[in-house]
Structure 1
Amino acid sequence: MDFIRVMAQRMFSGKPEELKYTVINTFEDYEERRYAETKFASIEIKGAASYKDASVEGWKKLFAYLASGNDKKVNINMTVPVCIDIFPEIEDLTEMKMDFVVSFLLPEKHHTNTPQPKDDAIKIRSTPERVVYVRTFGGFAYDKEIKSEIQKLKESLGDKTFAKDVYYFCAYDSPMKLTGRRNEVWLVKE
């Protein structure tokens, strides 16, 4: 019953806290943004059959952490986006390894004295300030769409340099939202 109550609160409690950023430049089909240092609860999913499988498995475990599965036994509010680190198999970013890191942004009030996960697989990690190239797109995203959008972003960047060892898919909406969805792919500026 507690799971249902917590899930309902998160789905219907209004707009969730969102990762803050500053837009540096806006281009025709992408933005260059600066993100401050922040904290995430993250879990590594190895050998998943697809991005979708990794995201479902990671989401379930991270949701348990948010729903009092932590040392302080507190419910932690859902935030956006949910980010997934995707590791390319080859440098041109056309193929994914089937290892992912699924991450929930921690609300700012939990950046200090962060509740620690009961599940040892979940890690609290800080990300440094960084500049990111971001392409936004709608709809439901699966492996094919993510790969297509990252290729479009890469092509739009031309000769700009970015990290090639990882890219990010970020989702802002509940799976129950059918229209007007917001998704992003990120490449970290070098």
Structure 2
Amino acid sequence: MDLATETAKYVFPKRFESQNLEEALMAVPDLETVKFKVLSRRGQYEIREVESYFIAETTMPGRTGFDLNGASRSFNVLAEYLFGKNTKRETMEMTTPVITRKTQSDGEKMEMTTPVISKKLEDQDKWQMSFVMPSKYGANLPLPKDPSVRIKEVPKKVVAVVAFSGFVTDEDVKRRELKLRDALKGDRQFRVKEGASVEVAQYNPPFTLPFTRRNEIALEVERKEE
């Protein structure tokens, strides 16, 4: 992996199409990310059709809620898998985002992707963090050596997404989730899918300035019956 090439991906970031000034200032590393198509844009959110992708996932330890200490530990566990603590010993590139979901080594090194995604376990008030896996591997990903890391395929889905800058906090996630759910009540085409849980996608490394960070919250939706 060429260090200069990898560094350039962070020094010369890319931007998503923006809907407001806050979003226009956000930048993300020039890394592979989840493929999606924007179906429509609303005032407060946009509707995306997201292609299927594979993730490496682990449950975040620590206290309940969006725990920064637990997030750091989970990130390190997943990074170890990505950068070598697996069965094939090949370097895999970083991707974006890292995803946290809220829900009811010696080895192969992989390309890093974005986002990082986190998901909350409703029954335990826990979160799950996942790295999006490089698409070139498909289902042929190396197995993790750490039993706390799980490989899963996320099926194609439609989601409502809101982007925001700054650092992610538990209270901020709760507030933005409620606001998005309220906004979707007035949507004529889409509604929140029954049992849908909030996802938080984070695209930037920790050293990124708060106002240029890109975060997103998402809820899975479905079309309303005609």
Does 2:203 match 1:172?
Answer: yes
Q: How does 1:39-78 map to 2 (within 5 A)?
A: 39-46=54-61, 48-51=63-66, 52-78=68-94
RMSD: 2.5
TM-score (norm 1): 0.85
Correspondence for 2:180: 153
Partner Cα separation in structure 2 for residue 108 and residue 181 of structure 1? 24
Correspondence for 2:193: 162
User: Which residue among 26, 34, 50 is the counterpart of 1:19?
Assistant: 34
Deviations 1:39-89 (A, max 9, x none): 00111225534412332121010000011111111221111111111136x
Correspondence for 2:216: 184
Partner Cα separation in structure 1 for residue 197 and residue 215 of structure 2? 17
Contact 1:37 1:127 in 2 (8 A): yes
Contact 2:54 2:139 in 1 (8 A): no
Contact 2:62 2:69 in 1 (8 A): no
Secondary structure of the equivalent of 1:79? strand
Correspondence for 2:20: none
* Structure 2 gap ranges (5+): 10-29, 105-119
CA 1:37–1:115: 2 relative to 1, 3 Å: same
CA 1:13–1:62: 2 relative to 1, 3 Å: farther
Deviations 1:86-128 (A, max 9, x none): 136xxxx9x9953111000001112142111111110110011
CA 1:71–1:115: 2 relative to 1, 3 Å: same
Contact 1:10 1:78 in 2 (8 A): no
Contact 2:39 2:49 in 1 (8 A): yes
CA 1:164–1:11: 2 relative to 1, 3 Å: farther
* Structure 1 gap ranges (5+): none
Does 2:134 match 1:107?
Answer: yes
Correspondence for 1:130: 157
Partner Cα separation in structure 1 for residue 175 and residue 51 of structure 2? 28
